[in-house]
Amino acid sequence: MVRSNVGGGRATLHDVAAAAGVSVTTVSNYLSGYPYMRQSTKDRVRKAIDELGYVANTAARTLKTGRTGLLTLSVSDLRQSYFAELAERIIAAARYRNYGVMIESTGLNRDREIGSIDSVRRRMTDGLITSPACMGAGDAAAFEGDYPLVMLGVQPFTAPCHHILVDNVQAAHDATAHLIKADCSRIALIGGAEGGEESSRTTRMRGYCEALREAGIPVRHELIREVRDWNALGGARAVTALFDDGIRPDGILACNDHLAFGVMRQLKDLGLAIPGDVRVVGFDNIDEARFAIPSLTTVDQSADTVAIKAVDSVIGQIEAGTRAPASVEHVPHSIVYRASSPEA
Amino acid sequence: MVRSNVGGGRATLHDVAAAAGVSVTTVSNYLSGYPYMRQSTKDRVRKAIDELGYVANTAARTLKTGRTGLLTLSVSDLRQSYFAELAERIIAAARYRNYGVMIESTGLNRDREIGSIDSVRRRMTDGLITSPACMGAGDAAAFEGDYPLVMLGVQPFTAPCHHILVDNVQAAHDATAHLIKADCSRIALIGGAEGGEESSRTTRMRGYCEALREAGIPVRHELIREVRDWNALGGARAVTALFDDGIRPDGILACNDHLAFGVMRQLKDLGLAIPGDVRVVGFDNIDEARFAIPSLTTVDQSADTVAIKAVDSVIGQIEAGTRAPASVEHVPHSIVYRASSPEA
DNA sequence: CTGTTAGCGCGTTCAG
DNA sequence: CTGAACGCGCTAACAG
């Protein structure tokens, strides 16, 4: 019978020791699985622990050991399905390793992205996994330090840490090549950007251009549409703009799945068939992509692999007591073929 | 010039005190905004802090004060947009109050739902906001205790704490009444359940039945379809099953927006017009609902209000040092009219 | 206005 | 195999 005296939660190691008629060391040893102990002692301790509903105080342990058992995950917006799915997997991977995850949502705010290192600086958390979206080329220094850190996603700076991401240039290249192979010649890119700092926008743009060039198709800038907010509305508007400009693409590569959903919606409203008149490919392979109308062909970013690698890396650093050397690790990507653009 | 000695993070209050030539109390006072201090002392302390790159150690403070500045949010699956949006808002509300949020994802596992109280039992976290989905009528005792707790969503038990939720019966009633007012007479309910423990499924079902009865429309059980997983696939399948059984609804109330997306997809594939042939109403008002094809009429659950109330409540309890008395608080709901079923 | 001091609860020596 | 004692870094009395 456990007495959950959670709130008033008195019982301390001393109480247990007193109740069991042993010393605190003995209880501590018992708790950490120290083997050389009389069975009768073990039983007494176990009984005392149960009766008192003893639960170790994390703060005291942390103060002593320097470990909180917590990780910080910093993303820009959990409402973006990609991040929600990534978070879900990171929580699962961390849980498996007996770590908890504190989530910081920075809402596309550079200062808050930088500020997310605070939780580890204050030792509230043992390490940081971050995916900044608004930091500039000069911001690398913000991450200088020796605390455990893993960086996720394309960045305009060279992070002084382990950096995990898919090869966005190659991924966009592959997706574009797929459309070309399916006989598309007027391929639009929704969400790409021609200039600005290195980001998903620019790298996916580069892959797109590369693939076109390799196929001998000239890059037409009217086909490239920047979109600020990568959501369905942005995708729909981009299609409208495209058609308003008299452009009739036969293939569309959207920089994420939400954009692709909006693209498909607008194409349908214009009376176009997918993939008959226009093929559509997205990016991220979020859960909803399977259920879209039609189901969406998309680039899988192996969020699961990223999650596991990120958690392994940061915990490895925690256990090693020092940051991993700077390095870039590309995780594999793949195209998931569905109805919006079947494999050619 | 800040030396970010995060990892090796030595500098302690004593170091700062020594460097500034004052005592630890003075530094501590300075840090907590104690007003009665000579400006020159303040300056010396500030300077020492900057030079040493001092950052307070949370664990030590926690050990002393008993507060971690962390909340636990426990949900079943962050990939469900409703929870992602709720989490985002709870993080924002907590952040505003200078609290961090640790997220527990329990994946429809009862034991893990119960286990989510562990983080507060171990005092790793100051309070818990939880939205269990798999606990039974007999599980109320699991939440006995005096720690700060807020329960969210319909539950089969009377939670011994502050419990925040929308009135699901009334909400489903309103949604159904809206369809009736729009001249629907064969209204299907997707995701409702006729039996089983009290849950969103059964309460929404009750509201649906009530509204029909009030309008003098008999409840036809073939129109009610249980769906295990409330995602688009489930919604699409339910529609298929409905039509396979020879049933032709003219209005469909889906128990969440994802179901509604699948419903709409399947209706379209069957060549039916929305809202012309069939009107569709969802539940939750997730962000994507605005962008669906057609845009989705849905019941808004005021996730934002829930988030703010939940955070306020749990922090209130933390500050009061005791759990709030058991109480049920209904937050307002509203129907957001969009293209899938415009206001009659 | 500032300094001294005693714990918070746990892990970890070091004796016995 | 077990017990006593110290200290992690900070806050809060309490003195001065």
C-alpha to C-alpha distance for A316 and A151, rounded to whole angstroms: 14
| Cα separation values, B58 from A253, B12, B67, Å | 47, 12, 9
State pLDDT tens for residues B198-215.
999 999 999 999 999 999
Residue B46 within any structural domain of the chain:
yes
C-alpha to C-alpha distance for B292 and A232, rounded to whole angstroms: 9
Is residue A1 pLDDT above 70, yes or no?
no
State pLDDT tens for residues B27-73.
888 887 777 778 888 888 888 888 888 888 898 888 888 899 999 99
Find how far residue B90's CA is from the centre of its chain: 8
pTM for this model (two decimals): 0.93
CB contact (8 A) between residue A291 and residue B232 = yes
B208 vs A268, which has greater pLDDT?
B208
Where residue A77 sits, what CATH number does that domain have?
3.40.50.2300
Q: Is strand C in 7 Å reach of the CB of B41?
A: yes
Q: What contacts A133, CB < 8 A, 6 or more positions away?
A: A76, A106, A108, A113, A153, A199
Q: Are residues B51 and B96 in the same domain?
A: no
CB contact (8 A) between residue A117 and residue B6 = yes
Average pLDDT over residues A227-242: 93
Q: Are residues B256 and B153 in the same domain?
A: no
Is residue B4 pLDDT above 70, yes or no?
no
Whether the CB-CB separation of B150 and B310 falls below 8 Å is answered with yes
Q: Are residues B229 and B174 in the same domain?
A: yes
Percent of chain A exceeding pLDDT 70 equals 97
C-alpha to C-alpha distance for A134 and A107, rounded to whole angstroms: 9
Is B21 exposed, middle or buried, given 0-12, 13-18 or 19+ CB atoms closer than 10 A? exposed
Q: Which residue of chain A is at minimal alpha-carbon distance from B141?
A: A4
Residue A35 within any structural domain of the chain:
yes
CB contact (8 A) between residue B87 and residue A78 = yes
Q: Which residue of chain A is at minimal alpha-carbon distance from B288?
A: A232
Residue A127 within any structural domain of the chain:
yes
Scanning residues 45 through 74 of protein chain A, those with a beta carbon under 7 Å from any atom of strand D turn out to be 60, 63-64
Residue A22 within any structural domain of the chain:
yes
In this structure, the dihedral spanned by the alpha carbons of residues B179, B181, B185 and B189, taken in order and rounded to 10 degrees, is: 20
Q: Are residues A197 and A98 in the same domain?
A: no
Q: Are residues A172 and A293 in the same domain?
A: yes
Q: Which residues of A touch B78 (CB under 8 A)?
A: 78, 84-85, 87-88, 91
Interatomic distance A19 CA / C16 C1' (Å): 23
State pLDDT tens for residues B172-199.
999 999 999 999 999 999 999 988 899 9
Residue at token pair 């983080």: B119
CA nearest to B329, candidates B144, B88, B152, B93? B152
Q: Are residues A307 and A161 in the same domain?
A: yes
Residue B342 within any structural domain of the chain:
no
Q: Which of A6, A84, A119 comes nearest B146 by C-beta?
A: A6
Q: Which residue of chain A is at minimal alpha-carbon distance from B92?
A: A105
Where residue B19 sits, what CATH number does that domain have?
1.10.260.40
Q: Where on strand D do bases come within 7 A of a protein Cβ? A: 1-5, 7-14
Report the 3 state secondary structure along chain B: CCCCCCCCCCCCHHHHHHHHCCCHHHHHHHHCCCCCCCHHHHHHHHHHHHHHCCCCCHHHHHHHHCCCCEEEEEECCCCCHHHHHHHHHHHHHHHHCCCEEEEEECCCCHHHHHHCCHHHHCCCCCEEEECCCCCCHHHHHHHCCCCCEEEECCCCCCCCCEEEEECHHHHHHHHHHHHHHCCCCCEEEECCCCCCCCCHHHHHHHHHHHHHHHCCCCCCHHHEECCCCCCHHHHHHHHHHHHHCCCCCCEEEECCHHHHHHHHHHHHHCCCCCCCCCEEEEEECCHHHHHCCCCCEEEECCHHHHHHHHHHHHHHHHHHCCCCCCEEEEECCEEECCCCCCCC
A21 vs B127, which has greater pLDDT?
B127
State pLDDT tens for residues B284-306.
999 889 888 789 999 999 999 99
Q: Report the pLDDT value the prediction gives residue A304, as an integer from 0 to 100.
A: 96
Find how far residue B100's CA is from the centre of its chain: 16
Is residue A16 pLDDT above 60, yes or no?
yes
Whether the CB-CB separation of B103 and A87 falls below 8 Å is answered with yes
Q: Which of B68, B77, B95 comes nearest A59 by C-beta?
A: B68
| Cα separation values, A292 from A250, B237, B254, B274, B292, Å | 19, 14, 17, 17, 10
Whether the CB-CB separation of A89 and A308 falls below 8 Å is answered with yes
- Name the protein residue, with chain letter, whose CA is nearest the C1' of D2: A26
Q: Are residues A315 and A220 in the same domain?
A: no
Specify the number of domains making up chain B: 3
CB contact (8 A) between residue B287 and residue A79 = yes
Residue B315 within any structural domain of the chain:
yes
pLDDT grade for A135, boundaries at 50, 70 and 90: very high
C-alpha to C-alpha distance for A208 and A217, rounded to whole angstroms: 11
Is residue B5 pLDDT above 80, yes or no?
no
Q: Which of A7, A58, A233 comes nearest B122 by C-beta?
A: A58
Q: Are residues A182 and A291 in the same domain?
A: yes
Average pLDDT over residues B136-155: 95
Residue at token pair 């069991």: A20
Segments forming the whole domain that contains residue A125: 65-165+303-331
Q: Are residues B128 and B200 in the same domain?
A: no
Q: Are residues B231 and B137 in the same domain?
A: no
Residue A92 within any structural domain of the chain:
yes
Residue at token pair 């530094």: B27
State pLDDT tens for residues B88-111.
999 999 999 999 999 999 999 999
Residue A7 within any structural domain of the chain:
no
Whether the CB-CB separation of B227 and B238 falls below 8 Å is answered with yes
Percent of chain B exceeding pLDDT 70 equals 97
CA nearest to B86, candidates B335, B327, B306, B316? B306
Residue at token pair 């100051």: B126
Average pLDDT over residues A33-44: 78
- Name the protein residue, with chain letter, whose CA is nearest the C1' of D3: A23
Q: Are residues A173 and A273 in the same domain?
A: yes
Amino acid in position B242:
L
Best of B293, B314, B340 to mutate (most A CBs within 10 Å, chain A): B293
Q: What angle do CA B70, B76, B82 make, to 5 degrees?
A: 90
Q: Are residues B294 and B204 in the same domain?
A: yes
